[in-house]
Amino acid sequence: MRRPTRFALVTGALLSALAPLTAAAELAIDFIDIGQGDATYIHADGHHVLIDGGRSRHDVADYLRAHGVSHLDLMVATHPHADHIGGQIGVLQRKSVGEIWYSGYEHPTQTFEAWLDAALDSNARYREPTRGHDQQFGEMHLTLLHPGVETPNRSVHDRNLVVRIDRGPCSAIIAGDIEANGEREIIASGIDVRADVLELGHHGSRTSTSAEWLDAVAPQIAVAQYGAGNRYGHPHASVVERVAAAGVPLLGTGAHGSIRMRCGADGLWRVDTERRGTVTPGDRARDSAAAVP
């Protein structure tokens, strides 16, 4: 049975970079619009966490500076693709970072080499956590859902870190580019995956957000991080339709710009987006154009 919806959507309210940050006792999640890629900034109780950082070396570092953030308690790199770790390089060079989580997957690219160098040059503690690792930041808990110790090293997306965030009655899952294989493995592990907010894996690609995963998480709100008009056709129509059929409202950085979500002791999520919009499948236009004789 679906839980009652507990969120208020405030779209189109202009986001000011200098707007006061979170009030006390709130979990705050910003899905930052950095074009095609992922960058999620989470903060609560004076603790700051960044998951991924987009492709551009400077966009996320600039965003953090505009929000007065000079120190991150934790930085998570879900996997080594440039649209996720590129911007973490600038953050590592310009901010202090307490700890880094990564899978240890070795990836032979210049971006990954540069990321590794920046990580080694920083004073951050490096960790390769596995499923079930749980760490507390104030009243906020982060739990790693993936990879497990048994997860095969078969592909870069299969080793992607999936993070669960809990604070009081509020919960969210940041999926990175996990695909159906990994989703299946997480469900089979029996770890708790029910969450209020679900970031769709792999930018809403059809490789991810299987019906089983969507059913198991049973989110109240879904978010896809993608760039408007991206060449991959993200988010894909099959995923957008599956989410709609489940009755879950879908927000996307390509449609709404940056998305700020706040949740307090009442468990109610307040959502504030940079602009109004509707998430439309990126492969739809291409398919229908192809269907025209």
Q: By the criterion CB under 5 A, which residues form the site for Zn ion?
A: 83, 177
Judged by beta carbon, residue 48 or residue 234, the one nearer Zn ion is 234
Quick one: three-class SS letters along 15-69?
CCCCCCCCCCCCEEEEECCCCCCCCEEEEECCEEEEECCCCCCCHHHHHHHHCCC
**How many Cβ atoms sit within 10 Å of the Cβ of residue 188?**
10
Pairing of strands 269-273, 140-146: unpaired
| CA–centroid distance for 47 within its chain | 17
User: Phi-psi category of 204—alpha, beta or left, where left has phi over 0 and alpha has psi -120 to 50?
Assistant: left
Residue closer to Zn ion, measured from CB, 210 or 220: 210
Q: Which is nearer to Zn ion, 47 or 202 (CB)?
A: 202
Chain centroid to Cα 196, Å, comes to 14
Q: Which is nearer to Zn ion, 79 or 262 (CB)?
A: 79
Least distance to Zn ion, CB of residue 172, Å: 18
Supply the minimum distance, in Å, between the C-beta of residue 84 and Zn ion: 5
Q: How far is the CB of 222 from Zn ion (least distance, A)?
A: 17
Instruction: Please say which residue, 35 or 129, places its beta carbon nearer to Zn ion.
Output: 35
Q: Which amino acid is at 78?
A: T
CB of 139 to Zn ion, least distance (A): 30
User: What is the closest distance, in whole angstroms, from the C-beta atom of residue 68 to Zn ion in the complex?
Assistant: 28
Contact assessment for residue 177 and residue 208, using Cβ atoms and an 8 Å cutoff: yes
